């Protein structure tokens, strides 16, 4: 285990998962802590995230990502603008049967994703380096597309609409300013669910918006 993983870091992870009401077995716990260690190590050289402290990485990356687990279904999931693999890597660790595709155009961040997948032994994750506009989805598209810090809500929906399955849905992780983005949504989509996420050890409101089509144009998918 990395020297960055102190007892305080591990305790924060344990307390955070208890507060979220999520079970964490020994294997998942070890993988999550190793993910923090890897992220901390790579961040010193490649500046993958503005968060420097391993304890803050637990709170603002791991627990923030884990908070959406109750709202994620079993169908293959696309994480758009995944950066260093968040929330996709966390979701893949917590749900080993969930097939996760990580999409980002930044080479150093995708290299980190691939290293994490290899070192953590994740067989359910596929990192892809390409711009979202050039990405070719599997036949039928993705039933679930998640974004944590990719773009405005309207841009997220518009850019990934060709990648979404007919009965698919978008999962947009947002802060309190999301109300300002709602008015820009296309008339063909609707926010079907809105969940306030209580992320332990963090200040400020986090939300998950689930967005669905109100109609379907067969010419799109």
Q: Decide: 85 and 127 in contact? Cβ < 8 Å.
A: yes
- How high is the pLDDT of residue 220? 46
- How high is the pLDDT of residue 219? 41
Residue with tokens 């296309």: 186
pLDDT digits (tens), the chain, 221 positions: 678 899 999 999 999 999 999 999 999 999 999 999 999 999 988 888 989 999 999 999 999 999 999 999 999 999 999 999 999 999 999 999 999 999 999 999 999 999 999 999 999 999 999 999 999 999 999 999 999 978 899 999 999 999 999 999 999 999 888 888 998 898 899 999 999 999 999 988 899 999 999 875 544 44
Q: Counting beta carbons within 10 angstroms of the beta carbon of residue 8, is it exposed (0 to 12), middle (13 to 18) or buried (19 or more)?
A: exposed
Q: Decide: 204 and 183 in contact? Cβ < 8 Å.
A: no
- Provide the CA 132 distance to its chain's centre, in angstroms: 15
Give the pTM: 0.94
- How high is the pLDDT of residue 30? 97
Biggest CA–CA distance in the chain, Å, is 55
Q: How far is CA 130 from CA 35, 102, 123, in A?
A: 23, 10, 21
CA angle 141, 195, 91 (to 5 degrees): 50
Q: How far is CA 188 from CA 56, 73, 213, in A?
A: 38, 23, 6
Radius of gyration of the chain (CA): 17
Q: Which pair of structure tokens corresponds to residue 58?
A: 């637990």
Supply the angle between the helices 7-20 and 26-46 in degrees, to the nearest 10.
Answer: 120
């Amino acid at each position: 285990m990395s020297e960055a993983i102190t007892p305080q870091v591990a305790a924060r992870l344990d307390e955070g998962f208890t507060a979220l009401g999520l079970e964490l077995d020994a294997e998942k716990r070890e993988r999550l802590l190793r993910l923090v260690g890897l992220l901390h190590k790579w961040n010193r050289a490649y500046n993958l995230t503005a968060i420097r402290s391993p304890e803050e990485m637990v709170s603002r990356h791991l627990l923030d990502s884990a908070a959406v687990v109750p709202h994620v279904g079993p169908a293959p999931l696309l994480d758009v603008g995944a950066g260093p693999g968040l929330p996709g890597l966390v979701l893949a660790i917590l749900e080993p049967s969930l097939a996760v595709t990580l999409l980002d155009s930044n080479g150093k961040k995708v290299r980190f994703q691939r290293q994490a997948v290899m070192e953590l032994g994740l067989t359910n994750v596929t990192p892809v380096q390409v711009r979202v506009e050039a990405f070719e989805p599997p036949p039928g598209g993705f039933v679930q597309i998640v974004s944590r810090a990719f773009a405005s809500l309207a841009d997220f929906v518009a850019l990934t609409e060709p990648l979404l399955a007919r009965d698919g849905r978008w999962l947009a992780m947002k802060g309190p300013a999301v109300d300002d983005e709602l008015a820009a949504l296309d008339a063909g989509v609707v926010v079907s669910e809105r969940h306030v996420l209580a992320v332990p050890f963090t200040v400020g409101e986090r939300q998950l918006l689930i967005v669905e089509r109100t109609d379907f144009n067969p010419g799109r998918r």
